[in-house]
């Protein structure tokens, strides 16, 4: 297969982990006889500094020309600490999602046995936890009508039936490929938008009699995710709830540096780690590249190349078992490895497989 990949390193640790993702993708393509070309583009704070736009038109066109986007992170304290800033790095991420029509964000949460001790939750709660959060990505309060003055502000949580139906179908498709259990998370006891979500989901459940569909208020879901994460198989929810729940899921694995994601929809799919730009670690060679590398596994799997994805997952598991880990997940007394060293070890594993 011939791949054209748009690479958006972004800000903070983005360029460092991006390099490792590209190296792994290149190694897998060589191993399986695929060809791959890369086209780099700017986004986030880097793009603001260069051209004044966090998602410039040229970057959008680069994404549209590609088969997939390997994205890393955006964000910078310069903008976080300036409430008056009119242009922010995160606006670039929202613009990319909107312009590419990326309405479904898929975030797997899966534990590694050798890292269960890193989770703040008890071993017996998180071991063998394995579920997927599917977050609606282009609707809700993040994109609804907004207003703010000195004394009053609002954000509109707008959803339409077609938006809800299409994300629910993504959820049901994943559930059918897994353990056939879908949990729809809403706040239907309070929010009108959630009542529409629940109404549509109840109607659609009849189309999927082979899938068990249940409903859970978001506050209960947040509690249940901590108390009994193995209960879940596939979770589908709206934009704001999904943003919060997926970050909460990182405590189950023990590190946000292990969580990849895929955003799919109308145009080019985007594969990105969930951990953000961590600008304080920039240039220190300590950032965990595994989430970015697992994004490459998701990329191959998206195109039906399961064997390629499996090899990357095997390499990641082998690196963890061999204690080839960046500092935040390394066991006490074991050697320290940096971003580059972990990436190089995984590339070598792939080449020798």
* Structure confidence at residue 113 (pLDDT): 78
Determine the pLDDT at residue 88: 87
- Residue 77 to residue 210: CA distance in whole angstroms: 48
- Least confident segment among 33-37, 48-52, 141-145, 262-266: 141-145
Of 219, 266, 310, 321, which one is the catalytic site residue? 219
Which of 44-58, 151-165, 323-337 shows the lowest mean pLDDT across its residues?
Answer: 323-337
Q: For residues 51 and 256, which has the higher predicted lDDT (pLDDT)?
A: 51
Within a domain: residue 33? yes
pLDDT band at 270 (very low <50, low <70, confident <90, very high): very high
Give the count of beta carbons closer than 10 Å to the beta carbon of residue 160.
11
Q: Residue 220: which region, alpha, beta or left (left: phi > 0; alpha: psi -120 to 50)?
A: alpha
Would you say residue 260 lies in a domain?
no
Report the run of H or E that residue 90 belongs to, with start and end: helix 89-99
Is 247 labeled as catalytic in the residue annotation? yes
pLDDT-derived band at 252 (thresholds 50, 70, 90) equals confident
pLDDT score of 340: 97
Residue 82 has pLDDT above 70, yes or no: no
- Say if residue 352 is in the same domain as residue 297: yes
Query: Do 271 and 153 share a structural domain?
Result: no
**Interval 249-276 mean pLDDT:** 88
Structure confidence by residue, pLDDT tens digits, 48-68 = 999 999 999 999 999 999 999
d(CA 197, CA 160): 9
Query: Does residue 324 lie within any of the structural domains?
Result: yes
Q: Is the pLDDT of residue 275 over 70?
A: yes
Residues 186, 240 within the same domain: yes
In a domain, 27, yes or no: yes
Backbone angles phi, psi at 210, to 5 degrees: -85, -5
Per-residue confidence (pLDDT) for residue 119, from 0 to 100: 79
11, 76, 233, 243: which is the annotated catalytic residue? Answer: 243
Asked whether residue 259 is assigned to any structural domain, the reply reads no
The pTM of the full predicted model, rounded to 2 decimals, is: 0.88
142 is catalytic: yes
Q: Are 61 and 100 in contact (CB under 8 A)?
A: no
Considering the domain architecture, whether residues 171 and 240 belong to the same structural domain is answered as yes
Mean pLDDT computed over 271-276: 90
Residues 149, 242 share a domain: yes
210 is catalytic: no
Place of tokens 């304080």: 280
- Residue 196's CATH number: 3.40.718.10
Q: pLDDT per residue over 167-220, tens digit each?
A: 999 999 999 999 999 999 999 999 999 999 999 999 999 999 999 999 999 999
Read out DSSP for 51-89? HS-SS-HHHHHHHHHSSEEEEEE---HHHHT-TT-SS-H
Asked if residue 261 belongs to a domain, the reply is no
Catalytic residue among 130, 173, 247, 314: 247
Catalytic residue among 79, 187, 208, 233: 187
User: 25: Cβ–Cβ under 8 A, 6 or more apart, which residues?
Assistant: 3, 5, 36, 70, 296, 299
Total domains present in the chain: 2
Do 216 and 271 belong to one domain? Answer: no
Domain range for 158: 110-253
pLDDT of residue 255: 73
- Give the residue among 269, 348, 302 at the shortest CA–CA distance from 8: 269
Q: Does residue 133 lie within any of the structural domains?
A: yes
Q: Are residues 95 and 39 in the same domain?
A: yes
Domain co-membership, 98 together with 115: no
Rounded average pLDDT over 10-34:
97
Mean pLDDT of all residues belonging to the chain: 93
pLDDT-derived band at 330 (thresholds 50, 70, 90) equals confident
Q: Which of 142, 172, 174, 208 is the catalytic position?
A: 142
Considering 198, 226, 253, which residue would you say is the last residue of a domain? Answer: 253
Same domain, 246 and 270: no
From CA 83, how far away is CA 14, in angstroms rounded? Answer: 24
Please tell me which residue, 116 or 232, carries the higher pLDDT value. 232
């Amino acid at each position: 297969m011939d791949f054209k990949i748009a690479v958006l390193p972004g800000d903070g640790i983005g360029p460092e982990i991006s390099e490792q993702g590209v190296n792994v993708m290149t190694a897998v393509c060589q191993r399986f006889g695929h060809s791959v070309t890369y086209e780099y583009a700017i986004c986030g704070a880097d793009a603001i500094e260069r051209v004044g736009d966090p998602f410039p038109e040229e970057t959008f066109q680069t994404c549209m020309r590609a088969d997939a986007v390997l994205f890393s992170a955006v964000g910078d304290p310069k903008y976080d600490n300036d409430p008056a800033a009119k242009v922010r790095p995160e606006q670039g991420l929202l613009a990319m999602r909107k312009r590419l029509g990326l309405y479904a964000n898929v975030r797997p949460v899966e534990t590694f046995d050798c890292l269960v001790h890193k989770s703040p939750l008890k071993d017996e709660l998180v071991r063998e936890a394995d579920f997927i959060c599917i977050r609606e990505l282009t609707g809700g309060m993040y994109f609804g009508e907004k207003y703010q003055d000195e004394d009053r502000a609002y954000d509109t949580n707008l959803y339409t039936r077609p938006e809800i139906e299409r994300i629910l179908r993504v959820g049901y498709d994943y559930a059918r490929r897994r353990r056939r259990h879908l949990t729809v998370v809403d706040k239907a006891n309070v929010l009108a938008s959630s009542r529409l979500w629940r109404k549509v989901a109840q109607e659609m459940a009849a189309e999927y009699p082979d899938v068990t569909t249940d409903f859970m208020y978001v506050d209960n879901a947040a509690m249940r995710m901590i108390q009994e994460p193995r209960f879940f198989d596939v979770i589908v929810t709206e934009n704001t709830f999904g943003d919060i729940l997926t970050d909460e899921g990182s405590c189950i694995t023990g590190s946000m540096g292990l969580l990849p994601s895929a955003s799919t929809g109308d145009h080019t799919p985007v594969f990105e780690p969930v951990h953000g730009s961590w600008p304080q670690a920039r240039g220190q060679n300590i950032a965990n590249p595994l989430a970015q590398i697992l994004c490459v596994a998701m990329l191959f799997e998206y195109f039906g190349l399961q064997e390629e994805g499996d090899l990357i997952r095997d390499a990641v598991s082998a690196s963890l078992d061999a204690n080839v880990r960046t500092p935040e997940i390394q066991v006490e007394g074991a050697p320290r490895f940096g971003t580059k060293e972990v990436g190089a070890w995984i590339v070598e594993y792939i080449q020798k497989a």
